[in-house]
């Protein structure tokens, strides 16, 4: 039983890039339009950062754009699949959307996302960088800002090499441009240049050591490089800056399990469960595996049942039901 459970856990941990890398022939190419407005009314300011993420258990950054004067952003050229949107920026509380499922045959998909102003009550993370806006981001020269915009435009069309050129120009004009370094890291990830990606993230963190998206991205790289202890350090820091960051918590669940910290993995999975966590139901599988390590089978079954409740269309749902049935049968 343990071997079967562990094998599925490994499957669930496969990066989303591997799961979605195939470009299936004859699939419709789609455009996703996102309209971002404040919950209290009115659209967000022009230039608010909107990041497109692909995948379920592990979100992979695909593109970063900024909103236009009407608070809208578009992502053209998307294949059918599961996506999410993360909105952040000065004056905006970071918001991760629920899963946006684009079906084959859809040519245009429109999505509305309501966010809070950073000054509103119950605001946790003030922006995508974590905490406050660094002074360096408030004094960007026009030349650097234009290059960032040009790079973002190239990212919209998946022109990653050209995007990287513009982001490199942006940081050459303004070496303190943490956002440009982060976007550069996204471009390098699509160009399959992990070392350059890592360097860009480290440069962003030298400028702002609480840049939460950069810390999380660096943790993903550390996991891929089989350095879970190092990844955990990045996530601990990210969660100090943004305690309710679901992506960071969910990744730390997996890393704690890898390190044999079963109770910590369970505790973090419970934290994820207490927050809006669409797309992160697999934390319950990791928690189930941790409970199995601790020989607490009823709690293990409860976690597997939570997984099925939250993700009934999971591709391994039948296997999970069979596992639950076998566990319940063996306990009688």
Question: Is the predicted pLDDT of residue 210 greater than 70, yes or no?
Answer: yes
Question: Is the predicted pLDDT of residue 21 greater than 90, yes or no?
Answer: no
72: enclosing H helix or E strand: strand 72-78
No. of helices (H) and no. of strands (E), the chain: 13, 8
pLDDT at 122: 42
Closest to 80 measured CA to CA, from 128, 149, 32, 16: 32
CA dihedral 314, 318, 25, 52 (to 10 degrees): 10
Q: Which CA distances in Å does 49 have to 144, 156, 180, 246?
A: 16, 13, 12, 19
pLDDT tens, residue by residue, 227-262: 999 999 999 999 998 888 888 899 999 999 999 999
Q: What does the alpha-carbon distance between residue 4 and residue 58 come to, in Å, rounded to a whole number?
A: 21
Q: Provide φ and ψ at 315, rounded to 5°.
A: -60, -15
Contacts of 262 by beta carbon, 8 Å cutoff, 6+ apart: 256, 290, 291, 293, 294
pLDDT at 324: 93
pLDDT at 191: 92
Strands 92-96 and 81-89: antiparallel
pLDDT at 127: 40
pLDDT tens, residue by residue, 31-74: 888 989 888 888 888 888 888 887 654 556 777 888 887 888 88
pLDDT at 119: 58
pLDDT tens, residue by residue, 136-150: 666 789 999 899 888
Q: What does the alpha-carbon distance between residue 170 and residue 161 come to, in Å, rounded to a whole number?
A: 14
Q: What does the alpha-carbon distance between residue 136 and residue 141 come to, in Å, rounded to a whole number?
A: 10
Q: What does the alpha-carbon distance between residue 270 and residue 249 come to, in Å, rounded to a whole number?
A: 10
Domain boundaries, the chain: 135-190
Bridge partners of 108, per DSSP, are: 31
Contact status, residue 30 vs residue 78, Cβ threshold 8 Å: yes
Strands 108-115 and 72-78: unpaired
């Amino acid at each position: 039983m343990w071997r079967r459970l562990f094998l599925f856990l490994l499957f669930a941990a496969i990066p989303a890039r591997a799961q979605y890398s195939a470009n299936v022939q004859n699939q419709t190419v789609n455009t996703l339009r996102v309209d971002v407005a404040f919950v209290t009314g009115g659209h967000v300011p022009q230039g608010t950062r909107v990041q497109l993420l692909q995948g379920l258990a592990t979100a992979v950054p695909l593109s970063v754009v900024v909103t236009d004067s009407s608070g809208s952003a578009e992502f053209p050229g998307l294949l059918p699949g599961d996506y999410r949107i993360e909105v952040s920026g000065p004056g905006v509380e970071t918001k991760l959307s629920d899963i946006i499922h684009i079906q084959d045959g859809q040519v245009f998909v429109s999505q509305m996302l309501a966010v809070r102003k950073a000054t509103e009550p119950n605001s946790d993370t003030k922006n995508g960088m974590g905490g406050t806006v660094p002074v360096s981001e408030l004094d960007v020269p026009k030349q650097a800002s234009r290059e960032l915009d040009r790079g973002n435009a190239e990212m919209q069309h998946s022109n990653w090499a050209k995007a990287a050129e513009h982001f490199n120009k942006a940081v050459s004009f303004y070496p303190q441009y943490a956002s440009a370094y982060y976007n550069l890291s996204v471009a390098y990830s699509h160009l399959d240049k992990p070392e350059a990606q890592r360097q860009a993230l480290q440069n962003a963190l030298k400028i702002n050591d609480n840049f939460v998206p950069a810390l999380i991205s660096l943790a993903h790289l550390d996991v891929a490089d089989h350095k879970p202890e190092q990844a955990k350090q990045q996530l601990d820091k990210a969660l100090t800056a943004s305690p309710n960051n679901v992506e960071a918590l969910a990744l730390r669940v997996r890393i704690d399990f890898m390190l044999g910290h079963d109770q910590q993995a369970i505790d973090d999975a419970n934290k994820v469960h207490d927050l809006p966590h669409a797309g992160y139901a697999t934390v319950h599988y990791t928690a189930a595996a941790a409970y199995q390590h601790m020989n607490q089978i009823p709690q293990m079954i409860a976690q597997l049942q939570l997984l099925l409740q939250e993700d009934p269309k999971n591709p391994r749902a039948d296997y999970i039901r069979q596992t639950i049935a076998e566990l319940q049968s063996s306990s009688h």
